[in-house]
């Protein structure tokens, strides 16, 4: 059996007629940038997600950058973000002129540790950027308390957590703004780069929209200099086709995680993902912690099962951040997990027999080495 890590082809096939029609509609109407498709996606996403403003942008990196820039974050400021994430989280902090300050992660949930955030706060701290990694919500009550106490902005990186919920509130609606990526492999994915900002703050929404469109809300009326970060018509049309299915696809991920849990919980050599209480984990990634991880990864590959590591190096250990001169003891949990984490195949169309097969192969691996 061959099991891919994600299967974008299976999803395309399931909506092929609508998708092909949508793509041809864009070609027929030649509305390649802006236009109806983008406006309608914006409205549909706002309605489905339950948020006042959705600002479609070019990708999920720009969205982080634009939010911070429009909150006035810049040179001399510090923004606290987790040591374990994709580089966009920290890279965009630097892009604003501010300095990324890395916090360790929680032992149980892989997300930023609020206790470490407290220790890192200085007079220059302007914001916290929690990342709801793998689809798991951060400890938002604790984070919002810290933010209130120290008067900090909270920018939620929701690139991996579309429709995740914390005590009934969706990711991106607890802080000042939420940032989404619609990169093809994300839970809601376009067929190219795409992203969005969400916020209930009218003023921030208008600023972000203006900044992403060369500083102009009306053509040629540039109130400021901005950047070019637009969602194109083709990607908007593609996302619009997927929106009516996203809640079902999200639920299928959750069901797949439940099945993995049934099969994998009895294996002592691995630790399966825990879900924070009173939250909905949407399983963008299904990340286990495994003994002799690299050997297990090879064994899975040999048995036709694709797998990956998110992420092989924690951000402070990347060459890009060597200037921060962190030592190996600065992030004990993130450091420890770096050599243990392994992402197993996870996508809505993953079938029960495939989950069973992955589980069997993992069991076989650990039996073979005792
Ligand atoms: C994917 C991702 C991003 C960036 O999104 P792009 O659309 O690829 O720019 C940012 N943060 C996290 C945590 C991500 O996983």
160, pLDDT greater than 70: yes
Query: Which residue's entry shows tokens 């997990």?
Result: 337
**Average pLDDT over every residue of 81-107:** 98
Confidence of residue 87 (pLDDT cuts 50, 70, 90): very high
**Tally of CB atoms within 10 A around 196:** 30
pLDDT in tens, 290-331: 999 999 999 999 999 999 999 999 999 999 999 999 997 899
Q: What is the pTM of this model?
A: 0.97
Q: Ligand 1: which residue has its CA nearest to atom 14?
A: 159
| 140 close to 166: Cβ distance less than 8 angstroms | yes
- The residues near 299 (Cβ < 8 Å, ≥ 6 apart) are 361, 365
Share of the chain above pLDDT 70, in %: 100
pLDDT of residue 369: 82
**Average pLDDT over every residue of 321-349:** 96
Alpha-carbon distance values, 291 to 80, 107, 295 (Å): 31, 16, 9
Q: Ligand 1: which residue has its CA nearest to atom 7?
A: 60
pLDDT of residue 96: 98
Alpha helices in 171-267 (DSSP H): 202-212, 233-242, 246-264
pLDDT in tens, 201-250: 999 999 999 999 999 999 999 999 999 999 999 999 999 999 999 999 99
Distance (angstroms) between ligand 1 centre and the Cα of 157 equals 8
pLDDT of residue 328: 79
**Average pLDDT over every residue of 152-179:** 98
pLDDT of residue 169: 98
Among residues 134, 185, 194, 137, which one has the least CA distance to residue 160? 134
Residues with CB under 6 A from ligand 1: 59-61, 85-86, 88-89, 131, 157, 159-160, 181, 183, 193, 195
DSSP letters for 316-340:
GGSGGGGGG---TTSSHHHHHHHTT
pLDDT in tens, 107-135: 999 999 999 999 999 999 999 999 999 99
Distance (angstroms) between ligand 1 centre and the Cα of 2 equals 27
252, pLDDT greater than 70: yes
Does residue 263 have a cis peptide bond before it, meaning omega lies within 30 degrees of 0?
Answer: no
pLDDT of residue 173: 98
Distance (angstroms) between ligand 1 centre and the Cα of 93 equals 13
370, pLDDT greater than 80: no
Q: What average pLDDT does the structure give for the chain? A: 97
Distance (angstroms) between ligand 1 centre and the Cα of 29 equals 30
């Amino acid at each position: 059996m061959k099991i891919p890590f994600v299967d974008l082809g299976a999803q395309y096939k399931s909506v092929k007629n609508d998708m092909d029609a949508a793509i041809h509609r864009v070609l027929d109407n030649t509305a390649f940038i802006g236009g109806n498709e983008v406006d309608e996606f914006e409205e549909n996403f706002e309605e489905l997600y339950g948020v006042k403003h959705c600002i479609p942008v070019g990708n999920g990196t720009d969205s982080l950058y634009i939010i911070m820039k429009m909150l006035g974050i810049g040179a001399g400021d510090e923004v606290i973000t987790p040591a374990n994430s994709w580089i966009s989280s920290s890279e965009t902090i630097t892009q604003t002129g501010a300095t990324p300050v890395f916090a360790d992660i929680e032992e149980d949930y892989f997300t930023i540790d609020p206790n470490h955030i407290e220790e890192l706060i200085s007079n220059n701290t302007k914001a916290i950027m929690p990342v709801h990694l793998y689809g798991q919500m951060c400890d938002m009550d604790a984070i919002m308390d810290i933010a209130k106490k120290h008067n900090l902005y909270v920018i939620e990186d929701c690139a991996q957590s579309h429709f995740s919920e914390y005590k009934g509130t969706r990711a991106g609606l607890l802080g000042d703004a939420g940032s989404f990526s619609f990169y093809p492999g994300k839970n809601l994915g376009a067929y190219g780069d795409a992203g969005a900002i969400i916020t209930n703050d009218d003023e921030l929404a208008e600023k972000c929209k203006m900044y992403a469109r060369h500083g102009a809300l009306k053509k040629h009326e540039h109130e400021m200099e901005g950047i070019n970060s637009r969602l194109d018509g083709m990607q908007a049309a593609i996302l619009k086709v997927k929106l009516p299915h996203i809640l079902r696809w999200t639920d299928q991920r959750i069901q797949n995680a439940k099945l993995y849990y049934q099969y994998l919980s009895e294996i002592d050599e691995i630790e399966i993902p825990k879900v924070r209480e009173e939250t909905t984990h949407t399983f963008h990634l299904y990340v286990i912690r495994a003994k002799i991880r690299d050997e297990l990864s090879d064994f899975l590959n040999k048995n036709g099962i694709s797998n990956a590591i998110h992420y092989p190096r924690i951000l402070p250990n990347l060459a890009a951040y060597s200037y921060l001169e962190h030592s190996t003891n600065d992030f004990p949990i993130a450091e420890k997990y770096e050599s243990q984490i392994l992402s197993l195949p996870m996508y809505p169309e993953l079938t029960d027999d495939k989950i069973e097969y992955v589980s069997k192969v993992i069991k076989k691996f650990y039996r073979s080495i005792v």
